[in-house]
């Protein structure tokens, strides 16, 4: 429930985030930043950053293959809680910082 951004071994940002609920957990392990998408409808998030991981419990989600992603969320009450379908919901300032991270950057998800 904590996102830490590290560059060259130095912590450059940390945020409390929302993660997958018990029935739809965010999968733990090593992955990478796969893309940066700007949906035509910016609600609930103006940016979506999929990683190379997929839900362990959902074959599909939102018309896609159940890919896990970082994305924003307007309701700040979710941060620090396990309430998502597997994605990681992040605060606006974290979303802005993550949008500058190069594609292919390693991501480590721990439980």
pLDDT-based confidence at 9, cuts 50/70/90? very high
> Is the pLDDT assigned to residue 104 strictly greater than 80?
yes
Backbone angles phi, psi at 68, to 5 degrees: -80, 145
Cβ proximity of 14 and 98 under 8 Å:
no
> Is the pLDDT assigned to residue 108 strictly greater than 90?
yes
Q: Which residues are known to be catalytic?
A: 71, 87
Number of helices (H) and strands (E) in the chain: give both, helices first: 1, 9
Percentage of the chain surpassing pLDDT 70? Answer: 100
Residue listed under structure tokens 């979303």: 95
State the pLDDT at residue 105: 97
Fold of the domain built from segment(s) 2-109: L,D-transpeptidase catalytic domain-like (2.40.440)
Backbone angles phi, psi at 43, to 5 degrees: -105, 130
State the pLDDT at residue 64: 85
State the pLDDT at residue 111: 76
Residue 9, judged by CB atoms within 10 A of its CB (0-12, 13-18, 19+), counts as exposed
Mean pLDDT calculated for residue range 90-105 = 97
State the pLDDT at residue 43: 86
State the pLDDT at residue 62: 82
pLDDT-based confidence at 58, cuts 50/70/90? very high
Cβ proximity of 101 and 33 under 8 Å:
yes
Distance CA 65, CA 60 (A): 4
> Is the pLDDT assigned to residue 44 strictly greater than 90?
no
């Amino acid at each position: 429930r904590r996102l830490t951004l590290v560059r060259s071994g130095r912590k450059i940002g940390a945020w409390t985030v929302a993660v997958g609920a018990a029935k739809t957990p965010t999968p733990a392990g090593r992955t990478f930043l796969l893309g940066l998408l700007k949906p035509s409808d910016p609600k609930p998030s103006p940016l979506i950053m999929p990683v190379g991981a997929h839900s362990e419990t959902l074959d599909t989600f939102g018309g896609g293959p159940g890919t896990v992603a970082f994305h924003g969320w307007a309701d700040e009450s979710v941060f620090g809680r396990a309430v998502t379908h597997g994605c990681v919901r992040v605060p606006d300032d974290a979303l802005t910082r993550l949008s500058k991270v190069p594609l292919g950057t390693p991501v480590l998800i721990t439980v």
